[in-house]
Amino acid sequence: MGQQHRTPIFTVVLLFLSGLCLSGAQTMRQTYIVQADGVATARAAVFESGGSVTAELPIIDGVAARMPAETAAALAGDPRIHAVHPERVVTATGNTTAPGDYQQAVGAEQAWAAGIDGAGVTVALVDSGIDLQTPNVIARFSALDQQPAPSDAYGHGTFLAGVIGSRFAGGATMGVAPGASLVDVQVLDGEGKGTITDVVQGLDWVLARHETYGIRVVNLSLQSAVVTPYWDDPINQAVEALWQAGIVVVVAAGNTGPEPVSIAVPANNPFVITVGAFTDAYTPTDEADDFITPFSASGPTEVGFVKPDIVAPGAHIVSRMKKSTAWAVAHPGSWLGGNNYTASGTSASAAVVSGVVSLMLQQQPALTPNLVKHALRAAARPAVGEDGVSLTFSVFQQGAGRVWAPGAVFSDFGGVEANAGMIPGQTYIGPVRLIDGIYTFVTEGGELQPWASTYSWAGTYSWAGTYSWAGTYSWAGTYSWAGGYAWDESSFADPTWEMLQPGGTSPIGDRPAIDLLPPD
């Protein structure tokens, strides 16, 4: 295979700006998320402590508030308060392919031929906004200023809208589900920055209005660092509320791979559909040369769940944004003419799957999120060796395999659901018990024994027998692989990769730390 050139798109770093202000004896105030048994209780406790509420977050029974660190520490001990979280870093992920390439690679054209294009299904894109000239947008909301989003100054959201399913003049850049409607939920500013509060407010808005706009799918191509078990994270709590309300949540795995345990928030949530990236090596009808991209984040999660759930095209993706947007200005080499740009990342992979889910819901509107997730995994095509059984990549790299739209859209899987026996809002124990000498299991009381916010992988992850996930991990067949999880650079025909840094290439394995990644 010849050399591959992929310019990764926006790893949008959502900097959770604490914001500095002074009060009293020059005490520095910061932003915290305070949770109780309801918004009213959280608001009252903040007020009594001398803090100020900046936003209400009913989807997670909490508020965003500003207060000194010592006040937050004292508030955490208040018996009325369930949790106090500081704002923290989140990142969004990216995409790329020539027009018609990724649609063909996932079999979307077969659904179109049967008259299935996503019509009647609405996807909420929680991102940097969608340009006002983008078709199919039926509603807009901005968590940044509580006003309708004016446009997309950064470019990331508009690019992903095109991948999900926007039609443009002359038929250019038709996404996976061109008949789907879009709702613009802006949580990132013109520099690709936002806060946990912004994201949770955006998700709360979706929950409150999903019936009004027919929102069946939410696309989250952003990520935050893992600093608590998944169930204790505010964004994860919000996405579980959406899932329980019947909304399919599709999340980018992240551009932090290939090392194990590199899945971040909210991709580490066991309920959502977490999407990693593969490249079709510019041959969309030939699966033999496909491989997982080096930047695609890998599982297991911090408590041992298999992630990603599935992989989708995430290299050499083409979509649209205005040349005046911040990302376009920063990456002139990605310009293809007109308003077309090329980029790479798991943001696009998630957008592809959001499009596929739209096709599924048009064909089978009664599908629940758990039914959708099972159908996607059951119809997926795992990368296997010549024997047809041994996996080329482990489940922690490819999940159930590459997404395949015709199987997911037209097959009847007999009502089998993913997440069997699992209920949003409850905690679950994954199978991984020891990572680098640190136990990461959950006790009966829901406590980690102990918890560490930084993970390093020691040795190899040994896979044995059937993966138990409140039942049996479902595959489209029976597959196996030998040995542990070890990243092998020799599996790539291309010795170099255009890494997640502006205009530069570097050998596989020589990649920057997550906090140095530019917007994807």
pLDDT of amino acid 310: 93
Any idea what the Cα angle at residue 125 is, between residues 124 and 129, rounded to 5°? 125
Tens-level pLDDT at each residue, the chain (520 residues): 333 334 444 444 443 322 222 233 346 888 999 999 999 999 999 999 999 999 999 999 999 999 999 999 999 999 999 999 987 756 555 433 334 488 888 888 999 999 999 999 999 999 999 998 888 899 999 998 755 556 898 899 999 999 998 766 555 557 899 999 999 999 988 878 788 999 999 999 999 999 999 999 999 999 888 877 788 889 999 999 999 999 999 999 988 878 877 888 999 998 999 999 888 777 777 777 778 888 888 887 877 777 899 999 988 888 888 889 888 888 888 888 888 888 888 999 999 999 999 999 999 999 999 999 999 988 988 877 666 666 677 778 888 888 999 999 998 888 888 887 778 887 665 443 333 333 334 444 444 443 333 333 332 333 222 222 222 233 333 333 333 333 333 332 222 222 222 222 222 222 222 222 222 3
pTM of the model: 0.77
Return the H-helix or E-strand segment holding 337.
Answer: strand 335-337
| DSSP 8-state secondary structure symbol assigned to residue 153 | S
pLDDT, residue 480, reads 34
β 273-279/291-292 pair status: antiparallel
d(C-alpha 317, C-alpha 6), whole Å:
9
Return the ∠ at Cα 309 (arms to 306 and 310), rounded to 5°.
Answer: 140
What confidence score (pLDDT) does residue 92 get? 52
User: What string of H, E and C letters represents the secondary structure of 319-336?
Assistant: EECCCCCHHHHHCHHHEE
Burial zone of 223 (CB within 10 Å; 0-12 exposed, 13-18 middle, 19+ buried)? buried
DSSP string, 447-512: -BSS--S-----S-PPP-SPPBSSSBPP-SS--B--S-----GGG-S-SEE--SSTT--EETT---
Is 51 within 8 Å of 41 (Cβ atoms)?
no
pLDDT at 389: 64
Report pLDDT for 494: 27
Residue 507 has what pLDDT?
22
Distance CA 132, CA 306 (A): 38
pLDDT score for 84 = 93
Q: List b or e across 100-113, with b for residues whose CB sees 16 or more CB atoms inside 10 angstroms.
A: ebbbbbbbbebbbe
Question: What pLDDT was estimated at residue 225?
Answer: 83
Q: Which residues are catalytic?
A: 127, 156, 347
Cα atoms found within 13 Å of the Cα of residue 286, Cβ hemisphere only: 6
- Are the beta carbons of 351 and 96 closer than 8 angstroms? no
Distance (Å, rounded) from C-alpha 216 to C-alpha 218? 7
Between CA 506 and CA 520 the distance in angstroms is 17
Would you state the pLDDT for residue 199?
Answer: 94
C-alpha to C-alpha distance for 302 and 111, rounded to whole angstroms: 37
Sort strands 62-68 and 52-57 into parallel, antiparallel or unpaired. Answer: antiparallel
Q: Omega before 518 cis (within 30°)?
A: no
Token readout for 428 is 């679950």
As a whole number of angstroms, the distance between CA 200 and CA 240 comes to: 12
Task: Tell me what pLDDT residue 27 has.
Answer: 61
E strands, 16-96, in order: 22-23, 27-35, 52-57, 62-68, 83-86, 90-92
66 vs 64: CA distance, rounded Å: 7
How many CB atoms sit inside 10 A of residue 225's CB?
18
29 beta partners: 68
Q: What pLDDT shows up at residue 177?
A: 94
